[in-house]
Amino acid sequence: MLHHIAIVGSGPSGLFCADALLRQRPDLKIDVFDRLPTPYGLVRFGVAPDHQGTKAVTRQFDRLFAGGALRFLGHVQVGRDLPLANLRQHYDAVVLALGAHADRPLGLPGEDLPGRYGSMAFVGWYNGHPDFRDLDPLLDRPGAAVIGMGNVAIDIVRVLGKTRAEMATSDLTAHAADKIAAANFTDLYILGRRGPIEASFTSAELAELGKMERVRPVVKKSDLPEALPAGLDAIEARVKEKNLSILHEFADRTDEKPIRLHFLFNATPDAIVGSERVEGLKIKNGPTLEVGTVISAIGYRTAADGDLPQSDARGVIANQEGRIEPGLYVVGWAKRGPSGTIPTNRAEAKTVADLLLADYANDAAPAKQGSAALDAWLSSRGVHVMDWACWKRIEAAEIAAALPGSPRAKLAAWEDLRKHRQ
Ligand code: NAP
């Protein structure tokens, strides 16, 4: 009988799944585990600090936790502190909502030079992820390049390009704000290995790049087709048409601003140049860009630890419609790869929740013990769970420390977060 469910990962896909399960079965008890002492995963560490509206989704997650059927067990790494095999002994069903935490490798010479960062590390650094708090990236040259033409690449150039005043209402971490303010960029580059039609950014995000105080987008008119290619579906055509019109508008600009943001289309990176550190980025059949920083924003793969199922060649955990095997499910980026927006996960998590509930519709096995048995096991192993009350103390400290206009000053160091253990 289905009664106790464990969800591993407290990002949007895991919490949307909890929501969908509880709407249909309010009697269920769901425990949400996270390696970090802070909930919300991608909402806290992925969504850009100046996109606070997108983060408002956490209010509905808070209501779920306040409802009593959902428990937060932070600071517990399933697979390592708590083997999956053990979790499955205590819960009737387990849902993996692990996200995708590993940067796809570029596979280029010079990839490991200081000054080259993957977007997981770089975005994690400015968003206060404790694993990347001390990244201290090299931002000391006038040029910096971001490889990739998705929304993550757009987020990164925008955060690098905005002034401190433009970020005042964001929750950009102080360590990143100081470092970015001290940088003296004159030329930022965003590189796509294909053309403007193939770029995967969306129109609203692209348009934002044209509204920055000290950054002027630079687009070559000759890179832009006058019309869309045939064969696009209607929704895609609408987005691409809007993108093209924004890019044409960028190409027409003649104003001068301190930072030029160069859009380089059909620019495949060939090598990262430098001996001790990044000195440049060589483009295949093209120039070597004079940059001291190269950030690759080319997508992610799921990396699972310990006895969690490993991801396959596509970087996702093999599954059928979300079922890995009876009793074990997967949602979100770990299920389908790093695509879509936060609302994409709401619809998808519901389909996995429906599948899970259908699997147990005629299950007559006695329900397992759930957290009652597990709590004792965790404390016997010295695992210090940081629960919802700990998170609320962290949150209160962050709000209390916020600068005027900013929603919070994130605690980003492990030791500062762990101070809020009871
Ligand atoms: P993405 O949209 O898949 O973009 C990845 C980019 O990297 C593409 O331009 C891709 O080019 C390029 N790329 C991949 N491998 C490459 C390589 N080896 N060399 C050079 N370029 C390479 O992924 P993302 O930007 O990481 O975003 C992930 C998801 O989060 C997306 O669905 C995105 O929309 C979403 N997101 C949304 C927002 C928002 O709504 N504001 C913000 C951030 C992220 P090709 O097309 O040629 O492969």
Q: Is the CB of 150 under 6 A from ligand 1?
A: yes
Pairing outcome for strands 323-325 and 116-118: unpaired
Centre of ligand 1 to C-alpha 147, Å, is 10
pLDDT in tens, 251-286: 999 999 999 999 999 999 999 999 999 999 999 999
Would you state the pLDDT for residue 123? 98
Query: Which pTM does this prediction carry?
Result: 0.97
Q: Does 206 sit in the ligand 1 pocket, CB within 6 Å?
A: no
Q: Provide the residue type at 9 as one letter.
A: G
Q: Does the CB atom of residue 152 touch ligand 1 within 6 A?
A: yes
CA distance 334 to 310: 10
Residues with Cβ within 8 Å of residue 299, at least 6 apart in sequence: 104, 148, 150, 315, 337, 338
pLDDT for the residue numbered 371: 82
Ligand 1: centre distance to CA 199 (Å): 8
Residues of the chain falling short of pLDDT 70: none
CA distance 18 to 28: 10
CA dihedral 385, 388, 391, 392 (to 10 degrees): -150
- Quote the CA–CA distance of 311 and 304 in Å, as a whole number: 7
Q: What are the residues whose beta carbons fall under 8 Å from the beta carbon of 166, sequence distance 6 or more?
A: 50, 212, 213
pLDDT tens, residue by residue, 392-412:
999 999 999 999 999 999 999
Q: How far apart are CA 171 and CA 159, in angstroms?
A: 11
Residue 74: closest CA among 102, 48, 41: 41
Q: Is 148 in the pocket of ligand 1 (CB under 6 A)?
A: yes
List domains and CATH numbers for the chain.
4-101+301-418 (3.40.50.720), 105-297 (3.50.50.60)
CA of 148 to the centre of ligand 1 (A): 6
Residue 373: per-residue pLDDT: 79
Q: Distance from the CA of 327 to the center of ligand 1, in angstroms?
A: 32
Contact between 148 and 192 (Cβ < 8 Å): yes
CA distance 270 to 198: 20
Which residues, listed in sequence order, are joined to residue 387 by a DSSP beta bridge? 73
| Alpha helices in 183-292, H assignment, sequence order | 203-208, 234-251
Q: Measured at the alpha carbon of residue 162, what is the angle toward residues 180 and 178, in degrees to the nearest 5?
A: 25
pLDDT of amino acid 377: 87
Helices (H), 140-193: 151-161, 174-182
Q: How far is residue 259's CA from residue 80's CA, in Å, rounded to a whole number?
A: 45
In b/e form, how buried is each residue of 12-28, taking b as 16+ CB within 10 angstroms? bbbbbbbbbbbeebeeb
**Which residues touch 18 (CB under 8 Å, ≥6 apart)?**
5, 7, 30, 32, 64, 70
The residue to mutate among 103, 154, 298, having the most atoms of ligand 1 within 8 angstroms of its beta carbon, is 298
pLDDT value at position 376?
Answer: 84
- Residue among 366, 409, 315, 407 nearest 53 (CA): 407
Within 290-370, where are the H helices?
333-336, 342-359
